[in-house]
Structure 1
Amino acid sequence: MAKLATEGGDPMLTCICGTIAADEKRHKHVYTRIVEKLLEVDPNATMPAIAHMMKKKIIMPMHLMYEGQDPNIFEHFSAISERQGIYTSRHYAEILEFFIIRWKLETLEGLIGKARRAQDYVCGLPPRVRKLESRAKKIEPRQVKFSWIFIKQVIV
């Protein structure tokens, strides 16, 4: 996003996006370390917790975004991000794969019952997410007006 903002000649947006990216990197580091420790201490409780979180889906706070006119603004914003390649289901699958490898989830031993089923579920997510990518490409683009872009029509 920051790269597109730079190319578009908006230094303020570039700065904002850079700040957000740095913050996200810190979150990734902290959560990675926390889950590593939880898996070390109690993998049979941690693995189902990871699966539970993935089943509930990770909801970004931005989904509450509303500018007073378009009740579907987050959906439209997400569609644009997907079409521009900023954040796609491919990226999501790569993130899942990163954590599966980093936390060694596929080779985690000693799991029983619910934890073993959770391991199978979580480790099977990346291929399922990649299937969504092919479906997303089949969605027909449409024009939507964005009030915060001077009521400009944008393809989503």
Structure 2
Amino acid sequence: MARLATEGGDPMLARICGTIAVDEKQHKHIYTRIVEKLLEVDPNATMLAIAHMMKKKIIMPMHLTYYGQDPNIFVHFSAIIERQGIYTSRHYAEILEFFIIRWKLKKLEGLIGEARRAQDYVCGLPPKVRKLESRAKKIEPRQVKFSWIFHKQVIV
């Protein structure tokens, strides 16, 4: 996003996006380390927690954004960044794969009962997410007035 903002001639937006990217990278590092430790301490409960979180879906804070104009702002924003290739279901699958490998989730041994089923579920998610990408490509583009840019018509 920062690169696109720079190319689009908006250095302030580029700076904001760059700051957010740094913050997101720090979150990734912290969460990665926390889960690694939790897997050492209690792999069964941690595996159940990971599966629970994935089943509940990860809701981005922006999903709750509403400022009195466009109740579908997150849907429109998501469609735009998907079409631009900024963040796609392929990226999401790659993130899942990164964590499955980093945390060695496929290799966890000694899981019992529901935790074993949770392991199978989580480790099976990347291929399912990749199937969503092919469906997303089949959605016909449409124009909507995007309130964040003065109600300009954009393709979503």
Structure 1 runs of 4+ with >2 Å offset: none
Q: 1:52 is matched by which residue type in structure 2? A: H
SS for the counterpart of 2:138 is: coil
CA distance in 1 between counterparts of 2:118 and 2:147 reads 43
Shift of 1:67: 3.2
Shift of 1:64: 1.4
Shift of 1:104: 0.2
CA distance in 2 between counterparts of 1:105 and 1:142 reads 40
CA distance in 2 between counterparts of 1:22 and 1:61 reads 17
SS for the counterpart of 1:118 is: helix
| Identical aligned residues as a percent | 90
Query: So what's the TM-score if we normalise by structure 1?
Result: 0.98
CA distance in 1 between counterparts of 2:135 and 2:143 reads 19
Which residue of structure 2 aligns with residue 84 of structure 1?
A: 84
Which residue of structure 2 aligns with residue 7 of structure 1?
A: 7
Aligned residues, how many?
156
Deviations 1:97-154 (CA, angstroms, capped at 9, x unpaired): 0000000000001101011000000000000000000000000100000122111000
For structure 1, the residue ranges without an aligned partner over 5 or more in a row are: none
Shift of 1:68: 1.7
For structure 2, the residue ranges without an aligned partner over 5 or more in a row are: none
Which residue of structure 2 aligns with residue 111 of structure 1?
A: 111
Shift of 1:65: 1.6
CA distance in 2 between counterparts of 1:64 and 1:147 reads 16
Q: 2:76 is matched by which residue type in structure 1? A: H
Deviations 1:70-118 (CA, angstroms, capped at 9, x unpaired): 1111000000000000100000000000000000000001101011000
Query: So what's the TM-score if we normalise by structure 2?
Result: 0.98
Structure 1 stretch displaced more, 121-130 or 62-71:
62-71
Shift of 1:69: 1.5
